[in-house]
């Protein structure tokens, strides 16, 4: 299917690896001109051919600079994919183990960074009647599936997308959310990530936790989700083919959420 994206201009945050890297690859493959933002651009990201911007979006001043650089490089912005997030390391404990500093760090990265980037990019998106996709998490709907600060921030992000769609839909900007279940990313697979910490807290090998994760979370596909599968959904939602789709939250969770 031709997604009618050739020649469009996109800004993607959190682009260095995992879902963000897969989104950049998918958009570039559709002929999109991409500015890819990452704290530390990787060799894999450089290989995509996207224009790279090294930026730390936990710095409140950075989103404005990023949006300005994207508009200068691309001549405008048709697509914004807010994928920046993480900061889940060290959060395998419960509510009483999570400090104010950890709450502030996680909420800032997973929620406020997207708020700031979106605010900075919206004038350009209004000019092109563009599309925004925010990458949230199934944890926003099933909070026990991740660290409490992380899932709370993602729930705020999902609500933010709904509210943004209501305000700016009449002005031509579509806003949708994608909420993945467990994806084969560093969050789960890295030896220093949340998955490894969770396995250690449970007293089981990291490999055993990953092997049992699909069944433990109620997934029906018997495996973790691939980043490219999430990227395919994100790419469709940014395209003119999804022109009637806005204000939605799309689960890509292997069937783990059982409610309608």
Would you please indicate which residues are annotated as catalytic (active-site) residues?
150
Helices (H), the chain: 18-29, 43-46, 62-74, 100-107, 113-128, 148-168, 186-189, 194-202, 206-216, 227-238
As beta bridge partners, residue 52 has: 36
Maximal CA-CA distance, the chain: 54
b/e burial code for range 106-122 (CB count within 10 A of at least 16 → b): bbbbbbbbbbbbbebbb
Q: How big is the chain, counted in residues?
A: 260
Q: Which residues, 6 or more positions from 64, have their beta carbon under 8 angstroms from its beta carbon?
A: 116, 120
Cα–Cα distance, 118 to 129 (Å, whole number): 14
Q: Three-state SS for 97?
A: helix
CB atoms within 10 A of CB 254: 22
Cβ–Cβ < 8 Å for 222, 182: no
Q: Which two tokens stand for residue 142?
A: 């099933």
């Amino acid at each position: 299917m031709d997604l009618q994206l050739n020649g469009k201009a996109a800004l993607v945050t959190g682009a260095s690896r995992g879902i963000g890297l897969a989104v950049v690859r998918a958009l570039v493959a559709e002929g999109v001109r991409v500015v890819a933002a990452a704290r530390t651009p990787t060799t894999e990201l450089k290989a995509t051919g996207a224009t790279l911007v090294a930026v730390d979006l936990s710095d409140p001043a950075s989103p404005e600079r990023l949006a300005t650089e994207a508009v200068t490089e691309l001549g405008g912005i048709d697509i914004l994919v807010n994928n920046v997030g993480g900061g889940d390391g060290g959060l395998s404990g419960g509510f009483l183990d999570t400090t104010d500093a950890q709450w502030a760090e996680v909420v800032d990265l997973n929620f406020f960074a997207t708020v700031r980037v979106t605010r900075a990019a919206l004038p350009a998106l209004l000019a092109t009647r563009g599309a925004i996709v925010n990458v949230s998490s199934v944890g926003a709907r099933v909070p026990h599936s991740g660290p409490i600060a992380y899932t709370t921030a993602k729930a705020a992000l999902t609500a933010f997308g709904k509210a943004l769609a209501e305000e700016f839909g009449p002005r031509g900007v579509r806003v949708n959310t994608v909420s993945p279940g467990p994806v084969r990313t560093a969050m789960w697979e890295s030896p220093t990530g949340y998955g490894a910490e969770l396995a250690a807290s449970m007293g089981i090998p990291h490999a055993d936790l990953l092997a049992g994760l699909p069944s433990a979370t109620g997934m029906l596909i018997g495996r973790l989700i691939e980043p490219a599968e999430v990227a395919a959904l994100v790419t469709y939602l940014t395209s003119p083919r999804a022109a009637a789709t806005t204000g939605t939250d799309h689960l890509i969770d292997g069937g783990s959420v059982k409610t309608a």
